[in-house]
Structure 1
Amino acid sequence: MHSVIEQVTQRIEARSSQERQRYLERMQKARHKGPHRGALSCGNLAHGFAACGKDDKGNLRSLTRANIGIITSYNDMLSAHQPYENYPEQLKQAIREVGSVAQVAGGVPAMCDGVTQGQPGMELSLLSRDVIAMAAAVGLSHNMFDGGLILGICDKIVPGLLIAALSFGHLPFVFVPAGPMPSGITNKEKARVRELYAEGKVSKAELLDAEAASYHSAGTCTFYGTANSNQLVVEMMGLQLPGSSFVHPGTPLRQALTRVAGQQVTRITELSSDYTPIAEIVNAKSIVNGIVGLLATGGSTNHTMHLIAVARAAGYLVNWDDFTDLSAVTPLVTRIYPNGDADINHFQRAGGMAYLVHTLLEAGLLHDDVKTVAGDGLTRYTKRPELQGDKVVWLDGPTESLDESVLRSARTPFSDHGGLAVLSGNLGRAVMKTSAIPEGTESITAPAVVLSSQHELDRAFQAGELNKDCVVVVRFQGPKAIGMPELHKLTPPLGVLQKRGYKVALVTDGRMSGASGKVPAAIHVTPEAVDGGLIAKVQDGDLIKLDAENGILSILVDEKTLAQREAATIDLTDSHEGMGRELFASLRSQFSGAESGACSLFDK
């Protein structure tokens, strides 16, 4: 093992020892000898199987067969989740064939950040992660189940489902993906058209044509944003079958993998000889493996919050220092948009997960001695699935990249670090994704332009007020303020300014898209403006320094002047009402800061 990987893992374990012990004690208390439904009264159990068919009802009455709970985030508005429509029946049939039973335990909401970008609904996006966790917990709370199958892919959905599964950590869970859509127009071309539209050089109809050619069928969007980062991280943590993340929907291999996933969870329940609860899979080593996988591929910055919340659900305390120390020694081995021109399908053809795990294990950057849903050892994930007849077999994956413009060995990476910097200074703490920004833009000192929404920035851009070197400060966007929406509308105009030759950067207590890229952006600033953060005292013209190489985020104004300033305030009523947002006031008020996972589910 690389010494820093080992040190960070041990640091997390030491920091979390008491919290982890309490978690494991809770999970031990929740265990039950024999089928969990054996603890139910006759009336409870009769309710639980009343709607089942004769054979399933008989198996559930017998108290000798496993019952698997399916949690689904299906809806047919999300392209990534539309393929899940028929999964429950496929899984039930596969599980019947091995003598067990499956029931849909519950459904959870699943919103599409692509639909809500720049809209009021986006202010519910991060909140939805915690709602999903609670909704999944309600479904699993019937105590009918000996294991679970989790159907989810996109942004906040997988982290929420994973938090819920860890609350039932005495049970085994297998996550079941659905795969990406085929490639459409290139992400680079889509971004080009967006920038032209921001400048008024193409029509709205032309923009819609480009967007529709990119997002064109069922499956996950093909850029490397949060959805595909979710799939990669969950597989790296051993919670999905090896090589299952990026197989297209509707293909014979995809259908066969779904079948195997359903049957595999029955093999690792407490009724089997290979009991493997999720509490034993998700430990400090597998969490570090997930972070390393994220960093090695330039994945979504949203996981600097999600993985912290997930770790907390398993009894681990992870912080941004862990991310930055791991980033410093993790090579960047992929170029997937927005860190390159390729999409996730190109990554899959270049060797995909099998080669990625192989090269990171070979470099001593991953823990191999972990449990997974496929058995002991992460080495299992260097194999790739293939269909032989109607049976899935796992063959040795490639030991060399099949396309070095997309995926490289850890020995010859695109960069010797993982492209994530943590910035600290008098403005607070923030994260910055450096893997996609142009060389020479890692450091900037420029006057502030202070705004309170992404819509204000758009108006300033259209008015020509940003045609200068500047650090755009967009505040009152944090979790407690308005739910921390992704500020996707900032990307095209800031990209245009950068192309015009201006030195521009962004500082915000909000989030950028999981696909944020070429503009230097200090995001997730904590403490946020409404929670005592100095960002609330920044004024137009103040010099702001961002320095990713040295980890600096500072306002270059003397302390006496800052102490005398009143913190700005704004009326946030418009972001707290309408589109259902008034229903989430209590959750919003309970949000922790970004470095604590921006989560409302745990004690502060």
Structure 2
Amino acid sequence: MPLHPVLAAVTDRIRDRSANPRAAYLARLENARAKGPVRQALGCTNLAHGFAAAPAGDKIMLRELRQPNIAIVSSYNDMLSAHQPFERFPALIKQAVRAVGATAQFAGGVPAMCDGVTQGEPGMELSLFSRDVIAMATAVALSHNMFDAALCLGICDKIVPGLLIGALQFGHLPTLFVPGGPMPSGLSNDEKARVRQRYAKGEVGRDALLESEEKSYHAAGTCTFYGTANSNQMLMEVMGLHLPGAAFVNPGTPLRDVLTAAAAQRAVEITAEGAEYTPVGRVVDERAIANAIVGLLATGGSTNHTIHLVAIARAAGILINWDDFRDLSEAVPLLARVYPNGKADVNQFHAAGGMGYVIGELLDAGLLHGDTLTVAGPGLARYRQQPVLDAAGRLAWRETPRASADAAILAPASAPFSLDGGLKLLTGNLGRAVIKTSAVKLEHRVVQAPAIVFDTQEAVIAAFDRGELQRDFVAVVRFQGPRANGMPELHKLTPILGVLQDQGFHVALVTDGRMSGASGKVPAAIHVTPECLAGGPLARVRDGDPIVLDGERGVLQVRVAAAEWQSRQPAVADLAESRHGMGRELFAVFRANALGAEEGAITFHAAEPGTSAAAAHVAPVHDHFALAQGAAE
């Protein structure tokens, strides 16, 4: 199938925009590769340190410097359901690679925080920046120069983007991502949302709410709704960084364990010492990034990836922006209905055909680059397959049926649920923002109402509890950007705004912060950039200003006379509370150094030739440190 002209045009635009930084990145990759297996360059003292604690058999192989040594970088902890399964993986991996004459070492752990636990709490202000901490921790783990490839064990919101950003700094190393899988289905997502709204209205108490949540989040594995965690797994598959079909196999099952072992052995096969050398910096190219955006749009994935994909791309010397998301969204049909834009969960999505079906439909429609390099080999067609166990319990592959097993969950590209990808770019005199429309009914996509201005989500909730929001309005929640307070998700606003919308009021949210990766039925202009603390116009909005949020035409505007608008002084927020407590003091340098949402909210960056003016216009590092010290005092 010929490539769709919009996908071809956007990819060409990305390639042209990225020419200089991508060339510089690939030059660094080739320079690192030319040095050969890295352990051979280590001094004897260095090398002895590197395998001093290894088992005797592994030590012999590591000393000989001939067999591949695979790094394990893991986000394991046993508090968070999605990461708890990773406890068993290192032993499985080491056994698998020994079986093919190689070794593996646990190179390092990375932090893994859960937005579900920190949602609406002070710790949420560390969440976005934890991605960059994870990237740096990944780099530390790989910096020992002991490895020929890497296996990244991660699954949730900031963890996978952070691991990939870190791995791309070692772009000459092959890297596979090894998922843990979703928990089995529990209480339906619709019923969970219904109980949350009843609690917001005071119809049920805390005991009923907690019982509902426990039935939803009840076992090891990722949450089953289609938020950022499961969007991550989709992305790793469509980018060719998973083994085919690995994303949504439940933890603790024989198939999950066999896939983990197979990923480890595949890492050995694609090192520079073999015939199928597949460095991660070559896998993640302009085509893979375009494929990632397409996959996000076709499945109604998390809005958080309008930030994370920008940061991932930049780590590989590739420059994308929200125009690319917008243009592709107009051409990419919505093929999946998974909560919050449908009733199904990811287990039902997987059973209906899952990623194999989606990738197959998009390939047949010319909406994916089929000629990408993947960890499974050249070409994305292999990802039409599903993993199964044969009669002997061995891993086998079968073609995904061409027909959806559930037409309410997966639709063909010829008859999609929607002709567009359900993600819009909003522009106007309030800046640039994104809105996820795939879960918003047509009658709610355009809101024209007076603004009510808040500086915290707690203030919105308090106004609701006082009965002050029983009317048409646009909640403008300011000073929630990366530089202000780390850009926390404002997920606690979803139930109360949903209640008001159900009561017949025209309501919407406009914020320079984030919503949940499972942004739902209320229209929300999020990630407004520039943010208020960086001079964004949202700081000039006052109570009663008429706001237009038009999710159909892509408009975000305040209707105030030009002279009055220009004469207004921006509001100043008291951000002292976001500077201290819960470790926020340690993140002052991140807040001071963060780029805007459309630039990936990156906190580390260098002005490569060809980067955007905004990315290049950063103060020297010592100035940022001074700014951070001042902000913390």
User: TM tier, shorter chain?
Assistant: over 0.9
Task: Specify the alignment match of 2:598 in structure 1.
Answer: 595
Task: Specify the alignment match of 1:345 in structure 2.
Answer: 347
Deviation at 1:438, TM superposition (A): 1.2
**Equivalent position to 1:153, from 133, 152, 155:** 155
Given the alignment of the two structures, is residue 516 of structure 1 paired with residue 528 of structure 2, yes or no? no
SS across alignment from 2:53: coil
Task: Specify the alignment match of 1:328 in structure 2.
Answer: 330
**Equivalent position to 2:228, from 214, 217, 226:** 226
Does the 8 Å CA contact 1:291/1:323 hold for their aligned counterparts?
yes
SS across alignment from 2:263: helix
Runs (4+) of structure 1 exceeding 3 A deviation are none
Task: Specify the alignment match of 1:87 in structure 2.
Answer: 89
One-letter code aligned to 1:205: D
Does the 8 Å CA contact 1:34/1:64 hold for their aligned counterparts?
no
Structural mapping, 1:399-478, within 5 Å: 399-478=402-481
One-letter code aligned to 1:69: A
Task: Specify the alignment match of 1:244 in structure 2.
Answer: 246
Q: C-alpha distance in 2, partners of 1:455/1:285?
A: 42
Deviation at 1:34, TM superposition (A): 4.2
Given the alignment of the two structures, is residue 304 of structure 1 paired with residue 306 of structure 2, yes or no? yes
**CA deviation digits over 1:281-323, x for unaligned, max 9?**
1101111111101100100000000000000000000000000
**Equivalent position to 2:552, from 537, 540, 549:** 549
Deviation at 1:33, TM superposition (A): 4.9
**TM-score scaled to structure 1, two decimals?**
0.99
**CA deviation digits over 1:350-394, x for unaligned, max 9?**
001111111111111001001100001100000111111231111
Task: Specify the alignment match of 2:367 in structure 1.
Answer: 365
SS across alignment from 1:423: strand
Task: Specify the alignment match of 1:575 in structure 2.
Answer: 578
SS across alignment from 1:216: coil
SS across alignment from 2:88: helix
One-letter code aligned to 1:511: R
Q: C-alpha distance in 1, partners of 2:34/2:255?
A: 36
Task: Specify the alignment match of 2:319 in structure 1.
Answer: 317
Tell me the C-alpha RMSD between the 2 structures.
0.7
Deviation at 1:601, TM superposition (A): 1.7
**Equivalent position to 2:167, from 165, 172, 175:** 165
**Equivalent position to 2:30, from 28, 31, 49:** 28
Deviation at 1:121, TM superposition (A): 0.2
**CA deviation digits over 1:254-275, x for unaligned, max 9?**
0000000000000000010110
Q: C-alpha distance in 1, partners of 2:240/2:74?
A: 20
Deviation at 1:409, TM superposition (A): 0.5
Given the alignment of the two structures, is residue 132 of structure 1 paired with residue 161 of structure 2, yes or no? no
Deviation at 1:11, TM superposition (A): 0.4
One-letter code aligned to 2:198: L
One-letter code aligned to 2:470: N
Task: Specify the alignment match of 2:510 in structure 1.
Answer: 507
SS across alignment from 1:71: strand
Deviation at 1:396, TM superposition (A): 1.1
Q: C-alpha distance in 1, partners of 2:570/2:35?
A: 58
**Equivalent position to 1:76, from 75, 78, 83:** 78
Does the 8 Å CA contact 1:436/1:518 hold for their aligned counterparts?
yes
SS across alignment from 2:72: strand
Q: C-alpha distance in 1, partners of 2:37/2:60?
A: 14
Deviation at 1:203, TM superposition (A): 0.6
One-letter code aligned to 1:93: Q
Does the 8 Å CA contact 1:226/1:299 hold for their aligned counterparts?
yes
Does the 8 Å CA contact 1:238/1:372 hold for their aligned counterparts?
yes
One-letter code aligned to 1:36: V
**Equivalent position to 2:384, from 382, 396, 403:** 382
Given the alignment of the two structures, is residue 292 of structure 1 paired with residue 294 of structure 2, yes or no? yes
Deviation at 1:602, TM superposition (A): 1.3
Does the 8 Å CA contact 1:295/1:332 hold for their aligned counterparts?
yes
Does the 8 Å CA contact 1:431/1:524 hold for their aligned counterparts?
yes
Deviation at 1:123, TM superposition (A): 0.3
Deviation at 1:35, TM superposition (A): 2.4
SS across alignment from 2:247: coil
Task: Specify the alignment match of 1:397 in structure 2.
Answer: 400
Q: C-alpha distance in 2, partners of 1:32/1:263?
A: 24
**CA deviation digits over 1:495-519, x for unaligned, max 9?**
0000000000000000000011100
- Flag structure 1 segments of 5+ consecutive residues without an equivalent: none
**Equivalent position to 1:45, from 41, 44, 47:** 47
Does the 8 Å CA contact 1:177/1:245 hold for their aligned counterparts?
yes
Deviation at 1:441, TM superposition (A): 1.4
Q: C-alpha distance in 2, partners of 1:116/1:209?
A: 19
SS across alignment from 2:542: coil
Q: Percent identity?
A: 61
Task: Specify the alignment match of 1:526 in structure 2.
Answer: 529
Q: C-alpha distance in 1, partners of 2:5/2:371?
A: 16
**CA deviation digits over 1:508-567, x for unaligned, max 9?**
000000011100000000011111011001000000011111111111001210121111
Structural mapping, 1:191-206, within 5 Å: 191-206=193-208
Q: C-alpha distance in 1, partners of 2:474/2:538?
A: 13
Does the 8 Å CA contact 1:34/1:63 hold for their aligned counterparts?
no
Q: C-alpha distance in 2, partners of 1:189/1:465?
A: 27
Q: C-alpha distance in 2, partners of 1:352/1:313?
A: 29
**Equivalent position to 2:214, from 202, 212, 234:** 212
SS across alignment from 2:259: helix
Q: C-alpha distance in 1, partners of 2:362/2:493?
A: 34
**CA deviation digits over 1:173-223, x for unaligned, max 9?**
010001000000100000000000001100100000000000000000000
Does the 8 Å CA contact 1:332/1:419 hold for their aligned counterparts?
yes
Q: C-alpha distance in 2, partners of 1:448/1:227?
A: 33
**Equivalent position to 1:187, from 183, 186, 189:** 189
Q: C-alpha distance in 1, partners of 2:126/2:68?
A: 37
SS across alignment from 2:73: strand
Q: C-alpha distance in 2, partners of 1:469/1:518?
A: 16
Q: C-alpha distance in 2, partners of 1:539/1:468?
A: 17
Deviation at 1:570, TM superposition (A): 1.5
Deviation at 1:429, TM superposition (A): 0.2
Task: Specify the alignment match of 2:4 in structure 1.
Answer: 2
SS across alignment from 1:174: strand
**TM-score scaled to structure 2, two decimals?**
0.95
Given the alignment of the two structures, is residue 102 of structure 1 paired with residue 104 of structure 2, yes or no? yes
One-letter code aligned to 2:19: S
Q: C-alpha distance in 2, partners of 1:513/1:585?
A: 24
Task: Specify the alignment match of 2:274 in structure 1.
Answer: 272
Q: C-alpha distance in 2, partners of 1:559/1:133?
A: 44
Q: C-alpha distance in 1, partners of 2:507/2:554?
A: 18
> Quick check: 92-101 or 25-34, which moved more?
25-34
SS across alignment from 1:488: coil
One-letter code aligned to 1:533: G
Q: C-alpha distance in 1, partners of 2:35/2:129?
A: 36
**What number of residue pairs does the alignment pair up?**
604
Does the 8 Å CA contact 1:173/1:278 hold for their aligned counterparts?
yes
Deviation at 1:428, TM superposition (A): 0.2
Does the 8 Å CA contact 1:35/1:65 hold for their aligned counterparts?
no
Q: C-alpha distance in 2, partners of 1:287/1:234?
A: 11
